[in-house]
Amino acid sequence: MTGEFELEAAAPWGRNRAEYTTFFDLAGLPARRRILDCAAGPSSFTAEASRLGHLVVAADPLYGLPKEEIKVRIEESREAIAAGLRSAGHRFVWDAYGTPENLEATRLSAMKHFLEDYEEGLAEGRYLEAALPGLPFEDAAFDLALSSHFLFLYSAQFDLDFHLASVLELCRVAPEVRIFPLLDLDGERSRHLLPVIDHLQGRGLATEIRKVDYEFQKGGNEMLLIRCEAPS
Which residues contribute to the site for ligand SAM (CB under 6 A)?
10, 12-15, 38-41, 43, 60-62, 131-132, 148-150
Closer by beta carbon to ligand SAM, 127 or else 150: 150
CA distance 207 to 226: 5
Closer by beta carbon to ligand SAM, 165 or else 206: 165
Shortest distance (Å) from residue 43 CB to ligand SAM: 4
Closer by beta carbon to ligand SAM, 10 or else 144: 10
In the chain, where do the E strands start and end? 34-38, 55-59, 127-128, 144-148, 176-180, 206-211, 222-227
Q: Please name the residues in contact with 107: beta carbons below 8 A apart, sequence gap of 6 or more.
A: 13, 14, 15
Shortest distance (Å) from residue 207 CB to ligand SAM: 21
Q: Which residues are 79's β-sheet partners?
A: none
Q: What are phi and psi of 207, to 5 degrees?
A: -125, 150
Closer by beta carbon to ligand SAM, 18 or else 206: 18
Shortest distance (Å) from residue 14 CB to ligand SAM: 4
Question: Running DSSP on this structure, what letter comes out for residue 219?
Answer: T
Shortest distance (Å) from residue 5 CB to ligand SAM: 12
